[in-house]
């Protein structure tokens, strides 16, 4: 028996589901039931409008979302009614179209899709064809540049250097050769899928006609996340019948850094004159207080579609604003509150989520949760001490603490790059085995080893002097964090990361993670009298050991606190949310603003974080935060001023109980007075 019943929808949801002819823009606020609208709209097309299933196309961004949508439609109307309907990602749809007609582009139908490792092999082959030095030019960097051109639909013959840079110029030379090699292998890469599909549709009207006739009713989910190539792809398919329904929320457009263009949804009415607009504003997720805070924040963005979330589920508790002295206390207070809420309300650990702007912020919370023996899962990233740049940095400290740690020594011998090649290291290692001495000693005796030229010997000796000097330095007590900071500065780790990683945002995150190693050391010194380098490394090692134990596997199941970045949290919801680091230069993020980002996207990111909370939201800020182990004063986020004072309950430091009404009023007045003065 069909579960399809339009009367179960609220009026705007039903209006969107029943509008089938002509363009439709559904502005679906957070928690407003957009997936329900899409599935019921498909049900209406199938059951009431008698549209053939194979004339319906729904597109979303992930295989998981597509799979869930398929199941919901099948559950709604029955599996038999769905035969022939296509619900897929953009790339899966592109592959479907290419499989039918890619021969028109000179490929065979059984083309392969290359993985990153396959691509890099071809890039290196192309570099050899133009006599490029593989040691001076990074194949991954060349591939990254070519990927950027493909996502902008720029073919090899139109690719021009954007600036005078050796790698950029080389990428222009390599791109056509790489594409030729791909085609010779009857292969395409992931970026080719949309680019070739658009080229096929534009260059072959009969192919475009076929797919336009096939897909007469098109729906696109998360339209605010589409980029230029996806926009053009869908525009071509929908041009004939114009039965295009796009669903999204411009207020949740947070992926501009990876090419998403919020203008696609903002300009939809211009692109499709006469389109109908339906706003879904009733929220079924959060309390009235949470929604009011979110509304007040997001309304400060000028370029947006006006909408206001509301709920009939009640006002709920005030938002807790917790002010900590520093990031270590911030983590301690958050974990303390999780324990308190859990026992007071008989909650599971999985009812709690800690959301942060940058992955490097997870370190203090991971450590505190482990210290309190609370299970947690880290979503959208590795655990802090598993990250490559963190392991590289810690390997220096391991060698300084224990020169016999040859695994750590081999990891750092040419990081940052110092011109000691693999062949040299292999020769030294072989010599150390012959002489029955450990590898560090062999580095110091490199002058005795035959087959190594003088310039390389000097580089090896310089590295040996660096390590032995640092070892002596760390034997003195106190100021461990300061010594680590000076060591990393001397090594030039930050400069190396920015030099070798092409994407600035990725390099910045890795630099922040290395900075957190120093902050972790500083926090360890504060907690442990007479702290030693050996003790710190032991603590880190035990954290890794826990991760591989059976106990750890059990704890990292469903009943665990969730830690994730704000970007990773989109589309999710939790009963209790801690939105941490509510400070200038974190949220909004300093680098995002400096590197051409806008305050609008940072505000949308804040809005997404607030609307993840169902029952209660806690935001935290620090008066001071460690940077390279030193405490620096922090300013409250400008977004705090946008939340009405009456929605907030103030908590200072480690106080477990809310302040009295008089104390609340005094704290609120003082807080907002100071914040307005600082922000001007």
Residue 216 bears catalytic tag: no
The pLDDT of 574-582, averaged and rounded, is: 97
**Measured distance CA(68)–CA(65) in Å, rounded:** 5
The pLDDT of 657-664, averaged and rounded, is: 53
361 versus 669: which is more confidently predicted? 361
Active-site residue among 192, 221, 341, 515? 221
- Give yes or no for residue 595 having a pLDDT over 70: no
- Full-model pTM: 0.75
Average pLDDT, the chain: 87
> What angle is formed at CA 620 by the lines to CA 615 and CA 622, rounded to 5 degrees?
175
The pLDDT of 23-47, averaged and rounded, is: 95
Contact 57, 233 (CB under 8 A): no
pLDDT-derived band at 666 (thresholds 50, 70, 90) equals low
What is the residue range of 34's domain? 11-99+204-282
Task: Give a yes or no: residue 678 inside a domain.
Answer: no
pLDDT attached to residue 550? 35
Residue whose tokens read 């192919």: 207
For 151-187, the pLDDT digits (tens) are: 889 999 999 887 777 788 899 999 999 999 988 888 8
- Give yes or no for residue 546 having a pLDDT over 50: no
> What angle is formed at CA 260 by the lines to CA 234 and CA 177, rounded to 5 degrees?
80
Task: Give a yes or no: residue 447 inside a domain.
Answer: yes
For 307-325, the pLDDT digits (tens) are: 999 999 999 999 999 999 9
For 190-213, the pLDDT digits (tens) are: 889 999 999 999 999 999 999 999
Contact 676, 658 (CB under 8 A): no
pLDDT attached to residue 45? 96
31 known member of a binding site: yes
**Measured distance CA(459)–CA(461) in Å, rounded:** 5
Domain edge (last residue) among 158, 185, 212: 185
Domain edge (last residue) among 491, 513, 545: 545
Instruction: Tokens for 231, please give them.
Output: 């926009």
Task: Give a yes or no: residue 571 inside a domain.
Answer: yes
For 430-470, the pLDDT digits (tens) are: 898 888 888 889 999 989 888 889 999 999 999 999 999 98
- Give yes or no for residue 657 having a pLDDT over 50: no
34 known member of a binding site: yes
Q: Are residues 173 and 24 in the same domain?
A: no
> What angle is formed at CA 93 by the lines to CA 65 and CA 505, rounded to 5 degrees?
65
pLDDT attached to residue 43? 95
Active-site residue among 39, 212, 252, 323? 252
678 known member of a binding site: no
Domain edge (last residue) among 495, 512, 545: 545
53 known member of a binding site: no
Active-site residue among 70, 72, 124, 612? 612
Q: Strand pairing partners for 189?
A: 114
The pLDDT of 53-82, averaged and rounded, is: 92
Task: Give a yes or no: residue 4 inside a domain.
Answer: no
Q: Are residues 512 and 432 in the same domain?
A: yes
Q: What's the N-to-C CA distance of the chain in angstroms? A: 63
Contact 20, 241 (CB under 8 A): no
28 known member of a binding site: yes
- Give yes or no for residue 553 having a pLDDT over 60: no
Contact 480, 531 (CB under 8 A): yes
- Of 85-94, 129-138, 151-160, 605-614, highest mean pLDDT: 605-614
pLDDT-derived band at 547 (thresholds 50, 70, 90) equals very low
Kind plus residue range of the DSSP H or E element containing 404: none
- Give yes or no for residue 545 having a pLDDT over 60: no
Instruction: Tokens for 630, please give them.
Output: 């030193």
Task: Give a yes or no: residue 72 inside a domain.
Answer: yes
Task: Give a yes or no: residue 307 inside a domain.
Answer: no
The pLDDT of 582-587, averaged and rounded, is: 94
- Of 133-142, 289-298, 405-414, highest mean pLDDT: 289-298
- Give yes or no for residue 130 having a pLDDT over 50: yes
- Give yes or no for residue 40 having a pLDDT over 70: yes
- Give yes or no for residue 245 having a pLDDT over 60: yes
Q: Are residues 507 and 392 in the same domain?
A: yes
pLDDT-derived band at 597 (thresholds 50, 70, 90) equals low
Count of domains observed in the chain = 4
Task: Give a yes or no: residue 221 inside a domain.
Answer: yes
pLDDT attached to residue 375? 92
Residue 612 bears catalytic tag: yes
pLDDT-derived band at 296 (thresholds 50, 70, 90) equals very high
Residue 35 bears catalytic tag: yes
Contact 245, 223 (CB under 8 A): no
The pLDDT of 587-592, averaged and rounded, is: 84
Q: Among 99, 95, 96, 101, which Cα is nearest to 85's?
A: 96
Task: Give a yes or no: residue 62 inside a domain.
Answer: yes
Q: Are residues 92 and 127 in the same domain?
A: no
Q: Are residues 409 and 492 in the same domain?
A: yes
- Give yes or no for residue 243 having a pLDDT over 70: yes
Q: What is the CATH number of the domain that holds 640?
A: 3.40.50.300
382 versus 401: which is more confidently predicted? 401
Residue 252 bears catalytic tag: yes
- Give yes or no for residue 598 having a pLDDT over 80: no
Q: Are residues 126 and 68 in the same domain?
A: no
Q: What is the CATH number of the domain that holds 140?
A: 1.10.10
96 versus 593: which is more confidently predicted? 96
> What angle is formed at CA 469 by the lines to CA 467 and CA 473, rounded to 5 degrees?
115
SS (H, E, C) 326-394: CHHHHHHHHHHHHHHHHHHHCCCHHHEEEEECCHHHHHHHHHHHHHCCCCEEEECCCCHHHCHHHHHHH
35 known member of a binding site: yes
Residue whose tokens read 């005078």: 164
Q: Are residues 435 and 401 in the same domain?
A: yes
Percent with pLDDT over 90 in the chain: 52
Active-site residue among 13, 14, 34, 323? 34
Q: Are residues 88 and 222 in the same domain?
A: yes
**Measured distance CA(226)–CA(234) in Å, rounded:** 10
Q: Are residues 129 and 171 in the same domain?
A: yes
Contact 252, 283 (CB under 8 A): no
Q: Are residues 587 and 449 in the same domain?
A: no
Residue 221 bears catalytic tag: yes
DSSP tally for the chain: helices H, then strands E: 30, 17
pLDDT attached to residue 187? 85
- Give yes or no for residue 620 having a pLDDT over 50: yes
Q: Are residues 360 and 392 in the same domain?
A: no
pLDDT-derived band at 674 (thresholds 50, 70, 90) equals low
**Measured distance CA(93)–CA(76) in Å, rounded:** 23
pLDDT-derived band at 664 (thresholds 50, 70, 90) equals low
Q: What is the CATH number of the domain that holds 413?
A: 1.10.486.10
pLDDT attached to residue 662? 61
pLDDT attached to residue 47? 94
Q: Are residues 403 and 523 in the same domain?
A: yes
């Amino acid at each position: 028996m069909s579960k399809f019943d339009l009367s179960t929808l609220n009026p705007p949801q039903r209006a969107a589901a029943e509008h089938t002819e002509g363009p439709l823009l559904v502005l679906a606020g957070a928690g407003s039931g957009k997936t329900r609208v899409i599935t019921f709209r498909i049900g209406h097309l199938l059951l009431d409008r008698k549209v053939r299933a194979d004339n319906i196309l729904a597109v979303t961004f992930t295989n998981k979302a597509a799979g869930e949508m398929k199941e919901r439609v099948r559950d709604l109307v029955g599996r038999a009614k769905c035969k022939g309907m296509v619900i897929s990602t953009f790339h899966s749809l592109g592959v479907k179209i290419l499989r039918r007609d890619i021969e028109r582009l000179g490929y065979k139908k059984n083309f392969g899709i290359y993985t990153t490792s396959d691509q890099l092999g071809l890039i290196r082959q192309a570099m050899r064809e133009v006599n490029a030095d593989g040691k001076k030019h990074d194949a991954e960097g060349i591939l990254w540049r070519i990927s950027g051109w493909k996502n902008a639909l720029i073919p090899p013959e139109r690719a021009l250097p954007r600036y005078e840079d050796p790698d950029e110029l080389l990428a222009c030379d390599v791109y056509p050769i790489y594409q030729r090699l791909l085609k010779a292998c009857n292969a395409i890469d992931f970026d080719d899928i949309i680019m070739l599909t658009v080229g096929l549709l534009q260059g072959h009207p009969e192919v475009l006609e076929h797919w336009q006739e096939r897909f007469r009713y098109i729906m696109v989910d998360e339209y605010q996340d589409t980029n230029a190539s996806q926009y053009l792809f869908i525009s071509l398919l929908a041009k004939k019948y114009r039965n295009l329904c796009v669903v999204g929320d411009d207020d949740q457009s947070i992926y501009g850094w990876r090419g998403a263009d919020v203008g696609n949804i903002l300009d939809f009415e211009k692109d499709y004159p006469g389109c109908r607009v339906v706003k879904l504003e009733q929220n079924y997720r959060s309390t009235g207080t949470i929604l009011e805070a979110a509304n007040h924040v997001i309304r400060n963005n000028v370029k947006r579609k006006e909408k206001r979330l509301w709920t009939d589920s009640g006002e709920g508790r005030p938002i807790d604003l917790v002010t900590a002295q520093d990031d270590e206390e911030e983590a301690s207070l958050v974990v303390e509150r999780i324990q308190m809420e859990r026992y007071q309300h008989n909650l599971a650990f999985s009812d709690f989520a800690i959301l942060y702007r940058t992955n490097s912020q997870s370190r203090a919370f991971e450590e505190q949760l482990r210290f309190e023996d609370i299970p947690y899962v880290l979503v959208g990233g590795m655990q802090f001490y598993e990250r490559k740049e963190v392991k590289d940095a810690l390997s220096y400290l391991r060698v300084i603490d224990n020169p016999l740690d040859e695994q750590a020594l081999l990891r750092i011998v040419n990081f940052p790059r110092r011109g000691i090649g693999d062949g040299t290291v292999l020769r030294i290692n072989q010599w150390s085995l012959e002489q029955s001495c450990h590898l560090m000693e062999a580095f110091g005796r490199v002058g005795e080893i035959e087959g190594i030229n003088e310039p390389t010997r000097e580089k090896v000796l310089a590295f040996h002097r660096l390590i032995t000097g640092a070892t002596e330095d760390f034997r003195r007590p106190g100021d461990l964090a300061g010594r680590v900071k000076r060591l990393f500065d001397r090594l030039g780790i930050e400069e190396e990361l920015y030099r070798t990683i092409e994407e600035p945002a990725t390099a910045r995150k890795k630099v922040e993670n290395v900075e957190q190693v120093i902050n972790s050391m500083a926090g360890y010194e504060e907690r442990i009298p007479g702290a030693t380098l050996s003790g710190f490394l032991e603590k880190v090692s035990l954290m890794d050991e826990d991760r591989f134990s059976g106990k750890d596997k059990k704890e990292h199941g469903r009943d665990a606190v969730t830690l994730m970045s704000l970007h990773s949290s989109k589309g999710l919801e939790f009963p209790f949310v801690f939105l941490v680091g509510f400070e200038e230069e974190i949220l909004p993020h300093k680098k995002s603003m400096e590197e051409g980002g806008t305050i609008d996207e940072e505000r949308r990111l804040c809005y997404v974080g607030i609307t993840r909370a169902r029952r209660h939201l806690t935001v935290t800020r620090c008066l001071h935060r460690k940077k390279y182990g030193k405490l620096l004063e922090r300013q409250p986020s400008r977004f705090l001023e946008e939340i009405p004072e009456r929605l907030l309950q103030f908590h200072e430091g480690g106080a477990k109980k809310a302040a009295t009404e008089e104390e609340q009023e005094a704290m609120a007045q003082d807080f907002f007075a100071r914040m307005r003065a600082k922000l001007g």
